[in-house]
Structure 1
Amino acid sequence: MEHEFWHRRWANKEIGFHEGSVNEYLYRHWPELAGKDTGAVLVPLCGKAHDLWWLHDRGHPVIGVELSEIACKDFFEEGEEKAMVQPGEPFTVFRHENLQIWNGDFFQLVPDDLSHVKLVYDRAALIALPPEIRQQYVDHLTAVTPENTRILLITLDYEGSPTSPPFNVSNDEVYELYAEDYQIEHLHTQTLANDHPFAKRKGLQGASESVFRLTRR
């Protein structure tokens, strides 16, 4: 998606993808992904997700990457915490203790930025991207993270051809995108009730969310 698309969505508060609470699958499946590891976590395209605070509160240094400056500011304001802001290129860094949000383009990350990161949480990155960009995203994520990186990936699948995110990503596509470089474990799939906020808003039938654990070979 073009940068302007996302800037406009945040400026107009068109952020139906924002959950407003800690994701249930993060709470349920993170312990089996991370175990006792409290190492640094990368959260790509993080928005202002409460999930970052949850990870931080469990002892993880957190690096979120987010294009929208509005999202970065809102995150700390809504969390009632002040952030130190370090302007720079290609990222301006918002920092509170060991929780950071890097404000800029995910595709500007380089391996030196993430040499210490071996855990990734992706709830809203892959499904935010249209099909033609997803392989580029996966390839870049693989290029900038170390070997043996573990990823908790949450996807959304539904019928239709959406023109805006969140997009549908099938389980088969997850294998197509990641199988070359990752061991893939399908942990869970849950059908969304018809009165689920997203399903109801989009008028979807039979939408489902899936959870995967990916381990870099």
Structure 2
Amino acid sequence: MQASYWHEKWQKGETAFHQFKGSPLLKTHFPELGLPELSRLLVPLCGKTRDIAWLVANGHHVVAAELHEPAVIQLFKDMEVEPKVMHLDKFDLIHYQAMVDELTIDVYVGDIFQLTPTLIGRIDAIYDRAALVALPLDMREKYTLHMRELTGAAAQLLISFDYEQHLLPGPPYCVDAGEVASHYGEHYVVSQLASEDVVGGLKGKLKANEEVWLLKKKT
């Protein structure tokens, strides 16, 4: 999947994955991570998600990554925050940074695989609502490895979809319980927190379940 695919989606306004009021599943299940205030959360492929504002409002620092820069500009505009913008030529990334009530928001624009542990610093947990399911299978394998190495296998709150993949092309792609286990089972204790029908069907066409997973590093 090429970057041009996502740029075109944004330019055409084909962003049904964006939730204007944020994710209700995040609000319901976030406490399961058991994080203290001032934790640092990584939000991969963040788009212009309102979930970042919610995480900050609940006392946490946010590090995020997004390919499409106009989405990041809109994210900060929606939050009514003026970020500092820095070009990281060494990594071919653009770094948007802002502070809200002494909490930092760092959003890196560009290829998420350019992120390094040294660049982004300590991460206490990952919130993945629309990243894993946005990627085709070959990229999902690369992505899950990268997230583990990037964060030292930090805990994750993961949201995925389960449906008959052959009946509807992704994204979002079907990532069922078996695939979640194959990606994460070796390094994490995997717990399913919820499985809910997608109201109206996925893309208004197909019955699907939206599932919430808690991943905790094995000790």
The normalised TM-score by structure 1 is: 0.91
Q: Which residue, 183, 206, 216 being the options, matches 1:204?
A: 206
Amino acid at match of 1:120: I
Counterpart CA distance in 2 for 1:94 and 1:179 is 34
Match of 1:131 in 2: 137
What is the CA–CA distance in structure 2 between the aligned matches of 1:144 and 1:200, rounded to whole Å?
A: 31
CA distance in 2, matches of 1:164, 1:158: 10
- Give, in angstroms, the shift of residue 37 of structure 1: 4.4
| RMSD of aligned residue pairs (Cα, Å) | 1.5
Residue of structure 2 equivalent to 1:95: 97
Where do 5+ consecutive residues of structure 1 fail to align?
none
Deviations, residues 69-100 of structure 1 (Å, cap 9, x unaligned): 01111111222221111122322111220112
Q: Give the percent of matched residue pairs that are identical in Structure 1 and Structure 2.
A: 34
Structure-to-structure mapping, 1:38-57, within 5 angstroms: 38-57=38-57
Alignment-derived partner of residue 157 in structure 1 = 162
1:107-162 alpha-carbon deviations (Å, 9 max, x no partner): 11112134411211000000000112111110111111125x11000011111334
- Alpha-carbon distance between aligned partners in 2 of 1:155 and 1:184, rounded to the nearest angstrom: 13
Aligned length in residues: 211
- Written as runs of structure 1 = structure 2, the 5 A alignment for 1:1-217 is 1-89=1-89, 90-97=92-99, 98-147=104-153, 149-161=154-166, 162-193=168-199, 195=200, 199=201, 201-205=203-207, 207-217=208-218
Which stretches in structure 2 are left out of the alignment for 5+ residues? none
> Separation in 2 of the partners of 1:34 and 1:64?
20
TM-score by length of 2: 0.91
Cα distance in 2 for residues equivalent to 1:135 and 1:32? 25
Deviation of residue 192 (structure 1)?
2.2
Asked if the contact 1:34/1:119 (under 8 Å) is kept, the reply is no
